[in-house]
Amino acid sequence: MDRIKNQIIYLLSSGEKSVWEIIDFQDASLPEFFEKLNEMKKEGIVKMEGNVVYLTDKMKKAVYEYPFNELKCMECEGTGYRIMMNIKKKYEKILKDRPKPIEEYDQGYIGIDVALRKLAFLIERGDIFGEIFILGDDDLFSISLALTFLPKKIVVVDIDERIIDFINKTADEYGLRVEAFLQDLQKENEEFLRKFDVFVTDPVETLPGIKLFLSRGISSLKGIGSSGYFGLSTLEASRKKWFEIQKMINEMGFVITDIKRQFQVYPDDGKNFFEYQEKLPIVKKLRSKSNYNWYKSSLYRIEAVKEPNPLIRGDFVLGEKLYRDEESWATPI
Q: What is the CATH number of domain 85-322?
A: 3.40.50.150
Whole-number Cα distances in Å, 248 to 52, 221, 254: 39, 16, 9
DSSP state of 66: S
pLDDT mean for each 10 residues of the chain (333 residues)? 90 92 95 97 95 92 67 86 94 95 90 96 96 97 98 97 98 98 96 97 96 98 98 97 98 98 92 89 92 94 98 93 93 86
pLDDT of residue 165: 98
Between the CA atoms of 144, 93, 296 and 106, what dihedral angle is there, to the nearest 10 degrees?
-90
Distance, CA of 331 to CA of 139 (rounded, Å): 17
Please classify residue 1 by burial: count the beta carbons closer than 10 Å to its beta carbon, then call 0-12 exposed, 13-18 middle and 19+ buried: exposed
Q: H-helix or E-strand containing 55?
A: strand 52-55
Neighbouring-strand partners of residue 155: 133, 179
pLDDT of residue 28: 96
pLDDT of residue 62: 76
Outline which parts of the chain fall under CATH 1.10.10.10: 3-62
pLDDT of residue 64: 60
Architecture of the domain spanning 3-62: Orthogonal Bundle (1.10)
pLDDT of residue 317: 93
Outline which parts of the chain fall under CATH 3.40.50.150: 85-322
The closest of 191, 98, 86, 190 to 141, measured between CA atoms, is 98
pLDDT of residue 67: 61
pLDDT of residue 236: 97
Distance, CA of 74 to CA of 118 (rounded, Å): 17
